[in-house]
Amino acid sequence: MREGELHFRRLLEKLPAGAYTCDRDGLITYFNQHAVEVWGREPKLNDPVDRYCGSFKLFSTDGAAITHDRCWMARALETNRGYNRREIVIERPDGERITALAHANPIHDESGNLLGAVNVLVDITDRKRAEEALHEIREAERRRIARDLHDVVLQDLSATLQSLQAAQVESEGVGLDQEVETLRNAVQGLRNAVYDLYAEDTQSLSRTVESLLELNRQLAPGCEMTLSVDHGFPSELPDTVRPELARIVQEALANVRRHSGAHRVEVTLESDEDEIRALITDDGRGFEPDRARPGVGLTSMEERAALIGGDLEIRSELGVGTQVRFCLWRDF
């Protein structure tokens, strides 16, 4: 064994994660002990039966079965490119399933020729369980808020509006037109918000975003807000992804409305074979990201992005505007 390869394997042995290598034909040439723990079994080296992966069975995050020749290692060898932070579900021979992040990358020689690939598997099962529990808590809280808004706040506002309208009739409308109109808009806006909170369980992300835009149009009538959806953007997203992404868009729109002074905002939902993206772009006053102090809104967006394994980037320039860019690997 060449000295460089021996050193490389020694490094993989020290990783606190599963790691294995395949040759250019997908035959496993090495694996560390952590990989055996992740797989729940010990495959044979250079055996076609375990080509590309030592897992007993593989599944995508939505539960669909994945054959070994379509796993991230196989794709890295097929396309000669890296696939990092890709979630995959591994079933062990005893039936237990774990969730792992795969980091599959090709290996080249000094001339750039493909020699094989290495895959590092990081067990994130406990983290995923915590995320799912947090998601359930947030969904329960969302439903509670919707009920409280509908049963208490909306009813009180509606009763106040009726009383104000009755007073307007008695006083023949003197001095109350603006107050009645303001309260009527508030009631309608709140009713729309309650509807959206209830509807989030079933409607698509694009429908949810359009509802958010309509609500913000009412709150900022001087700002033009548009939505552009790429024809390849998935109509269905995992239940853990859709609400968090909608909240990121919601917070970004709120920041635009409160701080940017923008006249135009465009929300873009786009995708390709590798990732989905949401971009919220405005023509407001902008700011210098390096000097800006992170507020609660930005922190909330970053936390939500991290919760579903996405990346959030803020691009802004004084006098030009701001763009919030969210990217998520399309591995569901």
**Confidence category of residue 173, pLDDT binned at 50, 70, 90:** low
The span from the CA of 69 to the CA of 51, in Å, is: 8
Domain that holds residue 244: 205-332
pTM of the model as a whole: 0.56
**Confidence category of residue 283, pLDDT binned at 50, 70, 90:** very high
- Is the domain of 171 the same as that of 224? no
- Which of the 8 DSSP states describes residue 258? I
CATH of the domain at 101: 3.30.450.20
Query: Average pLDDT in the 130-149 region?
Result: 70
**Could you read off the pLDDT of 97-122 as tens digits, one per residue?**
999 999 999 999 989 999 999 999 99
- Lowest-pLDDT range, 46-55, 156-165, 173-182, 204-213? 173-182
Give the total number of structural domains in the chain.
3
- Is the domain of 259 the same as that of 241? yes
- Is the domain of 236 the same as that of 301? yes
- Is the domain of 279 the same as that of 190? no
Query: Average pLDDT in the 176-200 region?
Result: 64
- Neighbour-count burial of 31, counting CB atoms closer than 10 A to its CB (0-12 exposed, 13-18 middle, 19+ buried): buried
Q: How many Cβ atoms sit within 10 Å of the Cβ of residue 292? A: 11
- Is the domain of 119 the same as that of 235? no
Query: Average pLDDT in the 210-230 region?
Result: 87
- Strands, E, within the chain: which ranges? 18-23, 28-31, 57-59, 65-66, 83-91, 97-108, 114-123, 224-229, 264-271, 275-282, 311-317, 321-329
The owner of tokens 């990121």 is: 248
Task: Please report the pLDDT score of residue 142 as a whole number.
Answer: 66
Query: Average pLDDT in the 308-331 region?
Result: 89
Does residue 316 have a pLDDT over 70?
yes
Task: Please report the pLDDT score of residue 293 as a whole number.
Answer: 66
% of the chain residues with pLDDT over 90: 44
- Is the domain of 227 the same as that of 286? yes
Q: Domain ends where: 199, 229, 245?
A: 199
The span from the CA of 185 to the CA of 314, in Å, is: 32
Nearest Cα residue to 39 out of 49, 50, 29, 47? 50
CATH of the domain at 322: 3.30.565.10
Does residue 165 have a pLDDT over 60?
yes
Nearest Cα residue to 17 out of 30, 35, 5, 4? 35
Q: Domain ends where: 56, 90, 123?
A: 123
- Is the domain of 193 the same as that of 272? no
